[in-house]
Amino acid sequence: MKKMLTMLALCLLLAAGCAQQEERVAMRGLCFVEENGTVLLIEEQRGEPIVLQNRSEDGAMFDGLSCGDVIEVLTDGTIRETYPAQTDAWGVTLLEEGSLSDLPQETLDALAALGWLPREDS
């Protein structure tokens, strides 16, 4: 019985040591701040808008961001296939300040057609 308990304890320790850490993926693009404060990332490579859901413990993570800013967002890599797409954000870094005119007009038009309008102070 003692051998069985020792083996069980060893297996549990091994399993705990092999537990996967959540990987984070950095995504880069332009920021779009909607008039209600929702923040979207206009993904750098395809220009697709992605709604960012703040999953960090920092309630002010998106404060200070404006439309057109170049940002890098730390995500788990999961993109929910809605339109616009959605992802969980664990961190954001402002890389360069920008303006609304830096955003692709085609993307702005597509968002406006869905009722997504830029915040007035952007």
- For 5-45, the pLDDT digits (tens) are 344 444 444 444 444 456 899 999 999 999 999 999 999 88
Segment 81-104, tens digit of pLDDT: 998 999 999 999 999 999 999 999
State the CATH number of the domain containing residue 77: 2.40.50.140
**C-beta neighbour count of 2 within 10 angstroms:** 6
Asked whether residue 88 is assigned to any structural domain, the reply reads yes
Query: Phi/psi of residue 48, each to 5°?
Result: -85, 135
pLDDT value of position 23: 87
Between CA 67 and CA 50 the distance in angstroms is 14
- Global confidence as pTM: 0.79
pLDDT for 121 equals 76
Domains of the chain: total: 1
Domain encompassing residue 85:
20-113
